[in-house]
Amino acid sequence: MKASSTCKFSRVALLSLVVFFGFAVTTPVKEAESATPAAKAKAKTEAAAPAKSEKGTAVEPKLDPSDPSSVIYLDTSGKPAGLGDPNKPPSMAFQAGRGWHPQALSAAGLPRDRYGLIDWAKIVREKIVSPRFSLNPQDEEMPPLQMNVLIPAKGDFVDDVIYPHEMHTYWLKCEACHPAIFVPAAGQNNMTMTGIVQGNWCGRCHGKVAFPLTDCKRCHSSPKKAAK
């Protein structure tokens, strides 16, 4: 009975020793393990702090709402948001509002040509829009040039073209076309339809921003006397 009890005791003591030893060995390791991330985090915060303070020093002085480069007008990447103009809302919504809105455009009920495209010439003639002559209020308004040019078609069967300076000078100034695209002298521009299709002469605008070349008769409108 005694012998067995001593045996048990020694076993318990040995076990407790092992447990204690194990505990003693593992705790410092755990401590070390737990210590490293903490240290890293500390280091991180230390590293981040000066960067933050640097940014702060760069931007902080500019909080003046009348200054376009002020922090309140910058987006997250530090670039000027919106228009960079304190008098206008510097929001993405405002920029989106300036975009292309096909539905709003169709709801406006603007006149269209037979291809379903907006007839800007008709809009001007019917005075549906009346844009300012210039963004600069000091600019003197220049009335459109009242000058139609008859451009004879080369073939015998195609109607001649009447080129209206009026509608073109309403939107454009002389230098937009002369002398780079058209030599300003009658008969000096050897225009051909193939050239126009390739983007020369009228084709610089028509088919791109102005009404398309498919609308033949909108330009070829003056009947030829020699037509058979």
Residue 213 binds other proteins (CB under 8 A): yes
User: How many angstroms separate the CA atoms of 156 and 224, rounded?
Assistant: 8
Q: Write out the binding residues for other proteins, residues 171-200 only, by CB under 8 A.
A: 192-194, 196-197
Q: Which among 4, 215, 3, 13 has a CA at the least distance from the CA of 116? A: 215
- 134 vs 192 by CB, closer to other proteins: 192
Residue 217 binds other proteins (CB under 8 A): yes
Least distance (Å) between residue 138 CB and other proteins: 43
For CA atoms 62, 68, 72, 74, the dihedral sign is negative
Least distance (Å) between residue 223 CB and other proteins: 9
Contact at 8 Å (CB) between 85 and 91? Answer: no
- 124 vs 191 by CB, closer to other proteins: 191
Which tokens sit at 226?
């020699």
CB atoms within 10 A of CB 194: 9
Residue 216 binds other proteins (CB under 8 A): yes
Q: Which residues contact 223 (CB under 8 A, 6 or more apart)?
A: 159, 160
- 181 vs 213 by CB, closer to other proteins: 213
Q: Write out the binding residues for other proteins, residues 133-172 only, by CB under 8 A.
A: 154-159
Binding part of the chain for other proteins, among 4-12, 69-77, 85-93, 211-219 by CB under 8 A, reads 211-219
Least distance (Å) between residue 118 CB and other proteins: 18
- Please report how many Cα atoms fall inside a 13 Å half-sphere around the Cα of residue 71, on the Cβ side: 9
Query: How many residues make contact with other proteins (CB under 8 A)?
Result: 19
Query: Does a cis peptide bond (omega within 30 degrees of 0) precede residue 179?
Result: yes
Q: Which residues bind other proteins (CB under 8 A)?
A: 154-159, 192-194, 196-197, 213-214, 216-217, 220, 224, 227-228
